[in-house]
Structure 1
Amino acid sequence: MKKVEAIVRHHRLEEVKEALALAGALGVSFTEVRGFGRQRGRTEHYRGVEYTVDLIPKIHIQLFVRDEQLSAITNAILHSARTGDVGDGKMIISDVIDAIAIRTGERGEEVI
């Protein structure tokens, strides 16, 4: 089992959701987050005044997948979230040691 986490742009959320559904994702969590990467925010102008936005709003995606689903899921996120511009986000893939369903006590891949 793998845990896939991705940070993507807000305006790419619908495309990512559709791509994950087509790739067979059974359960996904989406959270609104704020942060910065290498770009360290951006400078904007409002009514003639320049100011820096240093915490950029993004979407944090988290899902658990079987090993055989990993390639389809990661490709779905990569292709649907990519704009080609700085700030497209990151994806992290981790091994999952175990998973337990709280209601039933089931363990392992049956949980996902």
Structure 2
Amino acid sequence: MKMIRAIVRPERTSIILDELLDAGYSAVTKVDVIGRGKQRGIKVGNVRYDELQKEMLMLVVEDDSKDEVVKIISKNAKTGEGTFGDGKIFVNVVEDVYTISSGANEL
């Protein structure tokens, strides 16, 4: 299994979640986060914003679903060609999954 974490613009979140749901991926965790990328925030006029509002979406999928989920997120998070600040997607291997109520290992 894979854990996919996507850090995206807040205004793109509902579009991404709708597309994931339509594709059958309903289990998603959403967290408000603050951060900056390698361009160190943005400058508007004389004001520099070092910390930007983002949202992190987290979901765990079967290995063979990873590419589809990454494609859905990428397509719907992108605001334009080469636009800075659209986000990042991280994919990690999941070693174990436990259900808290039952204690069952789901892998």
Structure 2 length as normaliser, TM-score?
A: 0.90
SS in structure 1 opposite 2:58? strand
User: How do 1:22-33 residues align onto structure 2 when only pairs under 5 Å count?
Assistant: 22-33=22-33
Provide the C-alpha distance between the structure 1 equivalents of 2:102 and 2:71, rounded to a whole number of angstroms. 32
Residue correspondence of structure 1 range 1-112 to structure 2 within 5 A? 1-45=1-45, 50-84=46-80, 85-109=83-107
| Counterpart amino acid of residue 40 in structure 1 | R
Q: TM-score, normalised by structure 1?
A: 0.87
| Count of residue pairs brought into register by the alignment | 105
% identical equivalent positions: 32
Per-residue CA deviations over 1:53-107 (Å, capped at 9, x if unaligned) read: 1101101111111112212211110111111311111000000001000101221
**Structure 2 unaligned blocks of 5 or more:** none
CA RMSD, 1 decimal: 1.2
- Runs (4+) of structure 1 exceeding 2 A deviation are none
Gaps of 5+ in 1: none
